[in-house]
Amino acid sequence: MDGFPAKLCPSDGVKIPESVLLRDQARLEQLERRKNVKESQTVSEEKISYFNATFSAEKAALEEMLSGCTQTDRQKATKVLEDATNQLQHLQKFLNDSTVFLTQYELRQAQESLQKLQSSIAEKRAEVMPKKKFAFRSRTAGASQQPAVPPSSSEDKPKADPGISVVDSVITGEQCGFSNAQNEVLIKYSDEIRQNDVLLSNLVNCKVRLYGSPSTLHIKNVRGCQILSGPVSSSVFVDQCKDSTLVLACQQLRTHNTASTQIYLHVTSRAIIEDCQGICFAPFNWKYLQLDDDFRVSGLDPKRNNWSQVDDFNWLAAGKPSPNWTIIPESERTSCWSDAEPEA
């Protein structure tokens, strides 16, 4: 038609310059990338929105459950506290499964909410179910007296040491562990720690072996120690640890106020550090006789290990690695863990 330019096409015998074709292709690819980014952002926003709504609803339900727990009916209070603890664990798992799309700020806010809920459960337990407190006892075993693997006879195993201290997170269940020890080999076995909260505190130059699957592990104020633990069902909390080596398997690791420490880790969600320096990571590599059974008890997936995925809450610079942690080179990793007596 008059007044309109003729459409160029190969049939007209007109050759379209290659630069025009390349520019048009680049434009189409850019549009496709923008479309994909927008769709990805939409999906992520929908996931975050669902997480926030679900997390808030579950948190409110748990708080309401605790508010109705009174000392009037001890049996009912016990049931409520058990349900609250289970619901808190489910909420923690929900958070762990959502860490892939949550920002560090959102993750930190949710963790702080869980910490407050743990404190509320512990305070309510102390209010409606007060009980007698027990002090820790530490136990020493020389290299010639302590076998390298757990004995098969339960008669040879030491009894559990109950205690009541709290480290980094409030403990809501039965607890055992070691405290106030120096230059000792400290060992606990599966029948003592299975699905119990374990506390290790105020230890200097000690070797600790935990054969079994604790529910939660708390490590507080240790220096120059070597601590090896079987699979932990939920979280490991580390606070004020220095010049030590930790070999741990858990659902989540939270490390605070720690320096110059190596961590051989199996973690199915994320590792979190805060106010830490000189932390070195490598994959969990401790082997002992009942390890496979303990993984089954813990519920952890032995094939899923995010040991190198570390969130540093003190380092928010996007695109730049945190200077507070590194990966141990393969040539420098410990491969054999001795159970010998530590040096005095």
Widest CA span in the chain: 104
Res 15: pLDDT: 73
Structural domains present in the chain: 38-128 (1.20.58.1250), 154-332 (2.160.20.70)
**pLDDT tens, residue by residue, 136-161:** 344 444 333 333 334 333 333 433 33
Tokens of 330: 């393969």
pLDDT score recorded for residue 171: 40
pLDDT in tens, 53-63: 888 888 888 88
Nearest alpha-carbon partner for 138 in 194, 190, 187: 187
Residues 300, 268: contact at Cβ < 8 Å?
Answer: yes
Q: 64-118 pLDDT, tens per residue?
A: 888 888 777 777 888 888 888 888 878 888 887 787 778 878 888 888 888 888 8
How far is residue 152 from each of residues 147, 156, 189, 267, 296, measured CA to CA in Å? 11, 8, 11, 28, 19
Give, to the nearest 10 degrees, the angle between helix 74-98 and helix 18-67. Answer: 170
The CA distances from residue 231 to 1, 88, 95, 175, 188, in Å, are 79, 20, 20, 16, 14
Reported as a single tens digit per residue, the pLDDT across 35-55 is 666 666 665 677 888 888 888
Burial class (CB in 10 A: 0-12, 13-18, 19+), 31: exposed
CA distance 37 to 46: 14
Question: CA 243 to CA 233: how far, in whole Å?
Answer: 26
217, 234 contact by CB (below 8 A): no
Is residue 14 over pLDDT 70?
Answer: no
Sign (positive or negative) of CA dihedral 300, 302, 304, 307: positive
Looking at mean pLDDT, say which of 7-16, 31-40, 185-194, 202-211 comes out highest.
Answer: 202-211
Calpha distance 209→173 (Å, rounded): 21
DSSP string, 47-102: HHHHHHHHHHHHHHHHHHHHHT--SS-HHHHHHHHHHHHHHHHHHHHHHHHHTTTS
Confidence tier at 130 by pLDDT (50, 70, 90): low
SS3 343: coil
Beta carbons within 8 Å of 152's beta carbon, 6+ residues apart: none
* 3-state SS, residue 129: coil
pLDDT in tens, 207-266: 999 999 998 999 999 999 999 999 998 889 999 999 999 999 999 999 999 999 999 999
* CA 191 to each of CA 17, 154, 158, 288: distance values in angstroms, whole numbers, following the listed order: 78, 8, 10, 16
Is the model's pLDDT at 31 over the cut of 80?
no
CA 290 to chain centre: 22
Q: How many residues does the chain have?
A: 344
Q: Could you tell me the pTM of the whole model?
A: 0.56
